[in-house]
Structure 1
Amino acid sequence: MMKYGSGIWLLIGCAGLAVAPAATAKESAPAPTAAGATSLAAAPALAPKAAPRTILFIGNSFTQGAHSAARNWHAGTVTDLNGAGYGGVPALFKAFCEQAGLDYAVSLETQGGKSLGFHYDERRALFDKPWDVVVLQEYSVLDRASPGDPAAYIRDVARMTALFEKRNPAVDIRLVAAWTRADQTYTPKGHWYGKPVAAMADDLRAAAERARAATPAVKGIVPVGEAWTRAMATGVADPDPYDGIAYDQLDLWTYDHYHASVAGYYLSALVTFGAITGVDPTSLGAHEKSADALGLSDAQAAALQTVARDELARLKAGR
């Protein structure tokens, strides 16, 4: 140990590590101010972290991810306003946002088998507050008593939009145009029986367009059903689950040929993600984490991402 001036230097071992001398009380004392108070150097202020963008999903079993492993997947990452513990499409959306470096606080309010009118009439106290984005998903055949009739849908989109605009005039409202139901297309009981597999999805898109035209504050449409149709047309998915699933193709429906399979919900969430954020779904990559967790292969994830990207590009081009 060697003394030097007012400090003490310690030489440690053969490595020669030196510890700087400690300042004396005189050296370390802060300078007094004119008023006799102590003057300390102000630490640089840290900018407050921006609040996450809020998004609310309102829908039914199609939003919940019913009859698939997606239903309760990562439910803890989103807020279920009903406390039912669903993850579904909202949780997939959240996972995609996190991987893309986007900060969204995701909530959902759902009830299986119900229309938007039910949510407005029975549940609006749960969601009557400001939101940045609201995604509305109507009952699959639009009107249970009169399949394909968009009248109630158009009315309820207008009511919902007025409610949310009152809370936040800048709210971004999107309408989900859902997929063709195989049971409505390939069985005699179906309203779209005997028509091409794209017919129901096309009608749902047309209904969404009418609702948007009637309520111009609606910002856009999420073309989920048309993405499903594209997946079938390009050979990614099989168009008819009743005659067996072709080798190396996906079945977008689950066992009831009504709700979606994991692949179907994954595609739905990809289209929603791309439509809302403007991020190319293929940027998530073949190794996207939720696809692997839910049992989709890298090739399947990449194929579905490409379908979503291409359908969104078509929508953007106005085709």
Structure 2
Amino acid sequence: MRITLALVLLATLSTPTAGWAQSDTTVLFIGNSFTYGHGSPVRFYRSDTVTDLNHTGIGGVPALFKSFTTQVGSDYDVYVETQPGSGLDFHLQNRLGTIGRRAWDVVVMHGQSTLDFEDPGNPAKLVDTSGRLAEFLHTVNPAVDVHLMATWSRADQTYRPGGAWADQPIDAMANDVRAGYDQAAQASAAITSVIPVGEAWSRAMESGVADPNPYNGTEFGMVSLWTYDYYHASTYGYYLEALVVFGRLTGRDPRSLGNHECSAF
């Protein structure tokens, strides 16, 4: 319980309260394994509460978000469109027919974890593809709010020799990823905001809630935000991700979930 409350507080500190607070709002999550919850039971969590547009049975972070909104009495219709190992270029090339079937009120989307498979740390592809996808979403609903989700530092890219962020502080990758997403948002008037999930992870490690280096074990009293591959998130990591998204989209303080937050039941 202490860990859960600490993660809720960290989400509060990382997330400005500005977002939707009305019923019957449609929310679409576009992403990859960082959205659907690879490496954790979150992947198939309450899949009956969201609509997976690809019919793969995903619950994931969108279902956690749905659980939080239900607990505070908000009515959101939540949809998921994900593809493992992909950036937004995949969705542009292969899924516009699926994505464009309806007018969405809110969209949360993110690209590949290193910004570019072939050139880690270079935001150029993200800037281009996020802008084009956001523009497409606006052709279907000119009033849509499109949020980019800046993802976390990968331990495997930081602590292993040859990693793109090797020998740098653990928060360096998250900072670079956030800078890339900020650049994308600044380049497109169709993008509403950047959701700072990676920074919430960094804050959890800085404050002693989460262990910053899973390769030397997890310190007593801390959690690991990464799963077994030190790349994807653990259940704790996805929980924190969902809290940050909840704070941004609903405009609610995540602490409003209270001591009896019950997504695990």
Q: TM-score, normalised by structure 2?
A: 0.90
Name the structure 1 match of 2:173. Answer: 200
What is the deviation of 1:199? 0.3
Cα displacement string for residues 220-274 of structure 1 (whole angstroms, at most 9, x for unaligned residues): 1110000000000001100000111110001000000000000000000000000
Cα displacement string for residues 88-118 of structure 1 (whole angstroms, at most 9, x for unaligned residues): 1000000000001111000010011001010
Segments of 5+ residues of structure 1 without an aligned counterpart are 1-49, 294-319
- 3-state SS of paired residue (1:71): helix
Cα separation, 1, equivalents of 2:118 and 2:128: 16
Aligned partners of 2:155 and 2:214 also within 8 Å: yes
| Counterpart AA for 2:51 | T
Segments of 5+ residues of structure 2 without an aligned counterpart are 1-21
What is the deviation of 1:286? 2.5
| Counterpart AA for 2:156 | D
Cα separation, 2, equivalents of 1:289 and 1:86: 20
Name the structure 2 match of 1:226. Answer: 199
Name the structure 2 match of 1:159. Answer: 132
Question: Are 2:24 and 1:89 aligned?
Answer: no
Aligned partners of 2:152 and 2:174 also within 8 Å: yes
Cα displacement string for residues 13-37 of structure 1 (whole angstroms, at most 9, x for unaligned residues): xxxxxxxxxxxxxxxxxxxxxxxxx
- 3-state SS of paired residue (2:117): coil
Q: Of the two, which has the highest radius of gyration? A: 1
What is the deviation of 1:217? 2.4
What is the deviation of 1:142? 1.1
| Counterpart AA for 2:175 | D
Question: Are 2:74 and 1:102 aligned?
Answer: yes
Q: TM-score, normalised by structure 1?
A: 0.75
Name the structure 1 match of 2:89. Answer: 117
Name the structure 1 match of 2:212. Answer: 239
- 3-state SS of paired residue (2:42): coil
| Counterpart AA for 1:126 | T
Show structure 1 runs of 4+ deviating over 6 A: none
Aligned partners of 2:23 and 2:74 also within 8 Å: no
What is the deviation of 1:51? 6.5
What is the deviation of 1:216? 2.2
| Counterpart AA for 1:274 | G
| Counterpart AA for 2:121 | G
- 3-state SS of paired residue (2:222): coil
Question: Greater relative contact order (Cα 8 A, min sep 6): structure 1 or 2?
Answer: 2
Count matched residues.
Answer: 243
Question: Are 2:250 and 1:282 aligned?
Answer: no
- 3-state SS of paired residue (2:41): coil
Cα displacement string for residues 187-210 of structure 1 (whole angstroms, at most 9, x for unaligned residues): 012100000000000001000000
Name the structure 2 match of 1:187. Answer: 160
Name the structure 2 match of 1:75. Answer: 47
Cα separation, 1, equivalents of 2:220 and 2:260: 23
Cα displacement string for residues 45-103 of structure 1 (whole angstroms, at most 9, x for unaligned residues): xxxxx961000000000000111010001001000000000101000000000001111
Name the Cα RMSD after superposition. Answer: 1.0
What is the deviation of 1:287? 2.0
Cα displacement string for residues 160-202 of structure 1 (whole angstroms, at most 9, x for unaligned residues): 1111111111110100000000000000121000000000000
Cα displacement string for residues 119-167 of structure 1 (whole angstroms, at most 9, x for unaligned residues): 1111110011310000011110111011111111100111111111111
| Counterpart AA for 1:169 | P
- 3-state SS of paired residue (1:288): coil
| Counterpart AA for 2:192 | K
| Counterpart AA for 1:195 | Q
